[in-house]
Amino acid sequence: MQQRRQPMIERFRARPMGAWGWLFFALLLAGTGWAQAASASGSQVLQHFFHQVRTVQAQFTQVVADRNGQVIKRAAGTVWIQRPGKFRWVYAGSNGQTIVSDGTQVWLYDPALQQVTIQPLGKTLGSTPAALIAGKDILASRFVIRDLGSKDGLRWVELQPKGGQDQGFTAVRLGFDARGALQEMRMEDAFQQETLLTFHDIRLNQPIAAQEFQFTPPAGVDVLKP
């Protein structure tokens, strides 16, 4: 079809929580029932997740606030992850975006634009958290991990990309409860906007149907392959 619209990958990157954002969120959506989480370091909690969790299914809510704390966007949806490299992130609503990876390529579908962009997984995500969480790498290879101590009943860990700003974010702070379950995730970008994600109805290491990681563009939409 004629490529008459702006490539969707660029539009996602221009928005808060764009193509890089939808998947980091699932990072440590919840703990794995680790009894020693209360005494473990932040780095140990993160590594434990990578060693134990292979699939994640959850509902999510998302709130984006500007540098003054004013809410500028709210959203909700569902996420599925299966290592290595497979995921599906769906925003609720008739015009909600859908992002799907089969482990090789990624489909970015925006029904409001009637447009699908298809790119190789590595090219689309590079070294972003989305690629890390769905892959096999450990966070310490790409991020500086700092234990921020405890506040408001949560243990806080900060991740900073070793290369500086990575696909739009400059820092991520994760708040865990005493069981090692992630309660809050706060992401900051270069414009000092903050995105807060919370997750619920979480299921870990449960089978996920193969079709969740496949996507067929609807009839009549523009299909772009940059």
Bridge partners (DSSP) listed for residue 88: 80, 100
Q: What is the mean pLDDT of the chain?
A: 75
Angle formed at CA 200 by CA 113 and CA 28, multiple of 5 degrees: 90
Q: What is the mean pLDDT of residues 22-29?
A: 41
pLDDT-derived band at 19 (thresholds 50, 70, 90) equals very low
User: Is the CA virtual torsion 152, 158, 164, 165 positive or negative?
Assistant: negative
* pLDDT over threshold 60, residue 58: yes
Predicted local distance difference test score (pLDDT) of residue 130: 54
DSSP structure string for 96-144: --EEEEESSEEEEEETTTTEEEEEEHHHHHTTSHHHHHHSS--GGGTEE
Per-residue pLDDT at 12 exceeds 60: no
pLDDT of residue 178: 64
Secondary structure (3-state) at 87: strand
Task: Of 30-34, 55-59, 100-104, give the lowest mean pLDDT range.
Answer: 30-34
SS3 content of the chain, % helix, strand, coil (to 5): 20, 40, 40
Q: What is the pLDDT of residue 200?
A: 82
User: 150 pLDDT band (50/70/90 cuts)?
Assistant: confident
Check residues 174 and 86 and name the one with the higher pLDDT: 86
Q: Label residue 40 by pLDDT band (50, 70, 90).
A: low
pLDDT of residue 68: 93
Percentage above 70 pLDDT, the chain? 65
Residue 25 binned pLDDT confidence (cut-offs 50, 70, 90): very low
DSSP 182-206: EEEEEEEETT--EEEEEEEEEEES-
Q: Return the higher-pLDDT residue of 162 and 12.
A: 162
Q: Evaluate the omega torsion of the peptide bond into residue 226 and state whether it is cis, within 30 degrees of 0.
A: no
d(CA 223, CA 196): 31
Choices 2.40.30.10, 2.40.160.50, 2.50.20.10, 3.90.180.10: CATH for 8-224:
2.50.20.10
**Which pLDDT value is given to residue 173?**
83
Mean pLDDT comparison of 13-22, 89-98, 175-184, highest-scoring range: 89-98
154-208 pLDDT, tens digit per residue, is: 778 888 888 765 556 788 887 776 665 567 788 888 888 998 888 788 788 899 9
- Greatest mean pLDDT among 87-96, 106-115, 193-202 lies in 106-115
Name the band, by pLDDT with cuts 50, 70 and 90, for residue 136: low
